[in-house]
């Protein structure tokens, strides 16, 4: 039987997933949320942090985060398109990633301090989510160096591991890390990941094929 969509049904979804599912998505997209039976939330809190999924209305904030950390982030990532540092580009990406989160084909949380809830300090994402017999994903993260050495990345990753294993029902999570990224290696080892091997020349970074350590953690 076809579901009838109205303000009440949108509000019911919004109460579970946050404001994004009514005003910014519209009724037809709310129906998609209901149909996919999303089990994870779009908003979480830890002792000191807020983690939430964002849509395109936050493009200005995310552009500011990337622009402020451009030199650092580009050291470990693929070459970006010319229009990456524009609000329009970030809006499209945020809306696309939001829909991926609805479908649980990919998830990105943006991280805020509770003491400064208007300023993005980092992000944690699950990509390459594979279901069926694998139930696995790859985790990625980046944080503003101004908040390093305060345990925010560890606190965020710890929470996201719990979400992946106990709310998304994943079994295995991997992290691919360049060998000279000692801060990232320390983070995953502290979080319970174990080194499984090395993927030789596995990613093209700034025009060079780079090796990556493969770390993994399994659901207890």
Could you report the per-residue pLDDT of 55-87, keeping only the tens digit for each? 999 999 999 999 999 999 998 888 899 999 999
Q: What is the pTM of this model?
A: 0.81
Average pLDDT over residues 42-64: 97
Write the pLDDT tens digit of every residue in 115-130: 999 999 999 999 999 9
* Stretch 36-60: mean pLDDT: 88
Residue 41 has a pLDDT of 93
Domains (ranges, CATH) in the chain?
41-171 (3.40.630.30)
In the chain, the percentage of residues whose pLDDT exceeds 90 is 78
Q: Is the pLDDT of residue 150 over 70?
A: yes
Per-residue pLDDT reduced to its tens digit, 156-214: 999 999 999 999 999 999 999 999 999 999 999 999 999 999 999 999 998 899 999 99
What is d(CA 203, CA 30) in angstroms, rounded to the nearest whole number? Answer: 37
CA atoms within 13 A on the CB side of 65: 19
Q: How confident is the model at residue 40 (pLDDT cuts 50, 70, 90)?
A: confident
Please tell me the predicted confidence (pLDDT) of residue 23.
38
Q: Which residues contact 166 (CB under 8 A, 6 or more apart)?
A: none
Say which residue the tokens 């290696």 belong to.
185
Angle at 94 between CA 188 and CA 82, to 5 degrees: 90
156: exposed, middle or buried (Cβ count in 10 Å: 0-12, 13-18, 19+): buried
Confidence of residue 35 (pLDDT cuts 50, 70, 90): very low
Mark 177-203 as b/e (b = at least 16 C-beta within 10 Å). bbeeeeebbebbeebebeeeeeeeeee
The yes-or-no verdict on residue 219 having pLDDT over 70 is yes
Which are the contacts of 54, defined by CB distance < 8 A and separation ≥ 6?
Answer: 20, 61, 62, 94, 98, 108, 110
Query: For strand 136-143 and strand 172-177, is the pairing parallel, antiparallel, or unpaired?
Result: parallel
Res 39: pLDDT: 66
pLDDT reported for residue 20: 41
Q: Is the predicted pLDDT of residue 36 greater than 50, yes or no?
A: no
Higher pLDDT among residues 87 and 33, named by residue? 87
**pLDDT given at position 25:** 41
């Amino acid at each position: 039987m076809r579901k009838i969509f109205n303000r009440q049904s949108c509000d019911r979804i919004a109460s579970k997933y946050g404001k994004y599912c009514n005003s910014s998505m519209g009724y037809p997209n709310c129906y998609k949320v209901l149909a996919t039976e999303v089990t994870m939330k779009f908003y979480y809190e830890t002792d000191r942090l807020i983690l939430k999924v964002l849509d395109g209305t936050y493009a200005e904030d995310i552009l500011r985060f990337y622009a402020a950390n451009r030199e650092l982030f580009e050291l470990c990532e693929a070459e970006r398109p010319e229009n990456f540092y524009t609000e329009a580009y970030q809006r499209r990406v945020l809306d696309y990633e939001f829909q991926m989160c609805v479908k649980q084909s990919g998830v990105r949380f943006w991280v805020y301090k509770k003491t400064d809830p208007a300023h993005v300090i980092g992000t944690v994402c699950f990509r390459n989510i594979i279901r069926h017999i694998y139930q696995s994903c790859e985790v990625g993260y980046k944080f503003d160096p101004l908040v390093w050495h305060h345990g925010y990345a560890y606190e965020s990753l710890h929470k996201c591991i719990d979400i992946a294993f106990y709310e998304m029902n994943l079994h295995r999570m991997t992290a691919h890390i360049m060998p000279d990224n000692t801060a990232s290696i320390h983070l995953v080892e502290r979080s319970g990941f174990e080194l499984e091997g090395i993927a030789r020349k596995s990613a093209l970074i700034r025009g060079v094929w780079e090796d990556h350590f493969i770390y993994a953690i399994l659901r207890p």
